[in-house]
């Protein structure tokens, strides 16, 4: 062996593993029975049918991520009354990943359904960028909330302006801010009911449903993204990390809502 080779430091086993990239989040395996999953699916269908029967203009706000694709699939493969009674829309913030945009096309192809897109007011975006910069949301919680207000909350208000009820894909397990999430609540600000039909679903049940029904999903889920929002405010998470750890990762756990679900935050 040459003298030069002798000088190359040899890493011990523990040191070597610390150089490997950390394992990323991956969809969990479902360990329950098929019957239990089918019962959960039947309950979801009943919940959606009940909402469609009670309201004329129910709207489902889809983020196009995993949970929302379960609800979208259950609506679009549901009865004609459910499919016609609950319209699906998304907030096109202008900062979404290409992979998220691809889901819109996949839904159109798979179900023959065009998800309606609500975009922010261009003037408000321009003013924000002029004052705070394109990525000013990294600088403070106020600047972040202002950006979410312009790109998400105001378009959501427009999307729901004629709705008599709305739905989300939120689950209790997703975050400390969602621990008490009920199936039905009142959106005090809008004065209409708000439904969380997956409130009591586990992450494993969500993925078991998606696999079982071959639902099109965002390609980012296969790259370590359990939760997906705007591109600059979302990153992959490590295995074992909180599923929403990659959303606004520079903020505290208690403030991680974009204003769409303001009632989740305890003031
Ligand atoms: S998630 Fe980020 S980019 Fe998207 S609206 Fe909120 S602050 Fe703006």
Contact residues of ligand 1, CB 6 A cut-off: 93, 95, 137, 144, 147-148, 151-152, 229-230, 232-233, 258
| Residue 1 confidence (pLDDT) | 47
Residue with structure tokens 């494993």?
204
Q: What is the DSSP string of 8-73?
A: SPPPPHHHHHHHSPPPBP-PPPP-S-HHHHHHHHHHHHHHHHHHHHH-SSEEEEE-SSHHHHHHHH
Per-residue pLDDT 10s for the chain (267 aa) are 445 556 666 666 666 666 677 799 999 999 999 999 999 999 999 999 999 999 999 999 999 999 999 999 999 999 999 999 999 999 999 999 999 999 999 999 999 999 999 999 999 999 999 999 999 999 999 999 999 999 999 999 999 999 999 999 999 988 777 888 999 999 999 999 999 999 999 999 999 999 999 999 999 999 999 999 999 999 999 999 988 889 898 887 665 666 677 665 443
Tokens coding 146: 């202002």
Ligand 1 mutation target, pool 93, 150, 260, 262, most atoms within 8 A of CB: 93
Alpha carbons 54 and 77: distance in angstroms, whole number: 19
> Does residue 205 sit within a domain?
yes
Active-site entry in 258, 259, 261, 262? 258
Residue 186 has what pLDDT? Answer: 97
62 falls within a domain? yes
Whether 258 is catalytic:
yes
Ligand 1 centroid from CA 59, angstroms: 22
CA of 178 to the centre of ligand 1 (A): 20
Q: How many C-beta neighbours within 10 Å does residue 107 have? A: 23
Query: How high is the pLDDT of residue 9?
Result: 64
59 in any annotated domain: yes
Whose Cα sits closest to atom 3 in ligand 1? 230
Environment class of residue 149 by beta-carbon count within 10 Å: exposed (0-12), middle (13-18) or buried (19+)? middle
Pocket test of ligand 1: the residue of 233, 234, 261 to mutate, having most ligand atoms within 8 Å of its CB, is 233
DSSP one-letter string for 166-196:
EE----GGG-GGGTT--SEEEETTTTEEEE-
Overall domain count for the chain? 1
Whether 117 is covered by a domain: the verdict is yes
88 Cα: distance to centroid of ligand 1 (angstroms): 21
Model confidence, pTM: 0.88
State which residues form the domain around 196. 33-121+154-223
What does the pLDDT read at residue 21?
Answer: 74
- In this structure, is residue 137 part of a structural domain? no
In a domain, 191, yes or no: yes
Distance (Å, whole) CA 256 – CA 249: 9
Helix (H, G, I), strand (E, B) or coil at 157: helix
In a domain, 67, yes or no: yes
pLDDT at residue 262, as a whole number: 64
Indicate whether 139 belongs to any domain: no
The alpha carbon of 25 and the centre of ligand 1 are apart by a number of angstroms equal to 22
CATH number of the domain within which 92 lies: 3.40.50.620
Distance CA 245, CA 175 (A): 9
Question: CA distances (Å), 121 to each of 149, 170, 200, 232, in order?
Answer: 11, 26, 35, 19
Give nearest CA residue, ligand 1 atom 2: 233
């Amino acid at each position: 062996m040459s003298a030069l080779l002798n000088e190359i430091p040899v890493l011990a086993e523990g040191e070597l593993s610390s150089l490997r990239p950390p394992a990323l989040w991956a969809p969990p395996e479902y360990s329950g029975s098929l019957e239990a999953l089918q019962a959960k699916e039947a309950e979801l269908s009943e919940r959606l049918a009940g909402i469609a029967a009670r309201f004329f203009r129910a709207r489902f706000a889809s983020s196009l991520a995993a949970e929302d694709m379960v609800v979208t699939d259950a609506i679009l493969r549901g009865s004609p009354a459910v499919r016609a009674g609950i319209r699906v829309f998304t907030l096109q913030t202008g900062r979404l990943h290409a992979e998220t945009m691809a889901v819109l096309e996949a839904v159109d192809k798979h179900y023959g359904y065009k998800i309606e897109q609500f975009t922010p007011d261009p003037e408000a975006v321009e003013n924000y960028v002029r004052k705070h910069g394109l990525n000013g949301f990294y600088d403070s919680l106020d600047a972040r909330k202002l950006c979410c207000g312009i790109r998400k909350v105001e378009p959501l208000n427009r999307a729901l302006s004629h709705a008599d009820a709305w739905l989300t894909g939120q689950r209790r397990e997703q975050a400390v801010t969602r621990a008490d999430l009920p199936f039905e609540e009142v959106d005090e600000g809008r004065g209409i009911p708000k439904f969380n039909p997956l409130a009591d679903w586990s992450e494993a049940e969500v993925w078991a449903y998606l696999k079982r029904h071959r639902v099109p999903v965002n390609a980012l889920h296969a790259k370590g993204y359990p939760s997906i929002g705007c591109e600059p405010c979302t990153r992959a998470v490590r295995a074992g990390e909180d599923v929403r750890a990659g959303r606004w990762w520079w903020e505290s756990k208690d403030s991680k809502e974009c204003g769409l679900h303001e009632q989740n935050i305890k003031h």
